[in-house]
Amino acid sequence: MESTIEEGQNMVKGINRNDIAAYFAGQAVGNTSLFTRGTGKVLNPNLELLFGGPQLRQFSYNFRFTPREAREAREVKGIIKFFKKNMAPDRVEGRLFLKTPNVFKLKYIFKNGRQHPFLNKIKRCALTNMSVDYTPDGSYMTYDDGSMTSYNLTMTFGELNPIYQEDFDSSNDMGF
């Protein structure tokens, strides 16, 4: 603890009022080189590694669908269409404004539909990217009805809120 305080005191020794003013002026106008031009100094990039603010996590999932009959092919088509539709914005009447796309609550299910106690939890997410490979086997193949013999679905979800320490306080599982 004492070494941390000492390190902090060493960092602020060479800072004067003009340095602070130049730094914040550059931040305010979106020109980070203003600080360097005004003072002849650059900010130590090692300090930025310590903490730059909370990060929003992303989760990617890959699913391989290989329908064996027409009913399964219709089900796969419905699943793909569901995700495509729900990641798209919705237009309101008059079409001047857009509504945000739907959000998703993802969880790893364990016994009786409960959250898996040994896997991470995920906060509410938006589907930020999705791609469908209609020829994952490297060639175009269909059944008689035109449905593909295989599909590879890749989805990326991004959490809408960051994780904070208090999120871990009320849970008896792995946490976030």
Least confident among 35-39, 103-107, 128-132: 35-39
Is there a contact between 168 and 176 (Cβ–Cβ < 8 Å)?
yes
- Give dist(CA 123, CA 111) in Å, integer: 20
Q: Compare 10 and 53 and report the one with higher pLDDT.
A: 53
Q: Compare 157 and 95 and report the one with higher pLDDT.
A: 157
Residue position matching structure tokens 């890959």? 62
Q: What is the pLDDT of residue 94?
A: 83
pTM greater than 0.85 (yes/no)? no
Residue 108 has pLDDT above 60, yes or no: yes
Residue 48 has pLDDT above 60, yes or no: no
**pLDDT (tens digit per residue) in 113-129:** 888 989 999 999 999 99
- Give dist(CA 80, CA 127) in Å, integer: 13
Q: What is the pLDDT of residue 110?
A: 92
Q: What is the pLDDT of residue 131?
A: 97
SS3 for the chain is: CHHHHHHHHHHHCCCCHHHHHHHHHHHHHCCCHHHHHHHCCCCCHHHHHHCCCCCCCEEEEEEEECCCCHHHHHHHHHHHHHHHHHCCCEECCCCCCEECCCEECCCCECHHHCECCCCCCCCCEEEEEEEEECCCCCCCCECCCCCECCEEEEEEEEECCCCCHHHHCCCCCCCC
Q: What is the pLDDT of residue 12?
A: 60
Is there a contact between 157 and 58 (Cβ–Cβ < 8 Å)?
yes
Across 147-168, average pLDDT? 94
- Give dist(CA 160, CA 126) in Å, integer: 7
Percent of the chain exceeding pLDDT 90 equals 54
Q: Compare 45 and 91 and report the one with higher pLDDT.
A: 91
Q: What is the pLDDT of residue 26?
A: 72
- Per the prediction, the chain carries an average pLDDT of 85
Residue position matching structure tokens 């599982």? 173
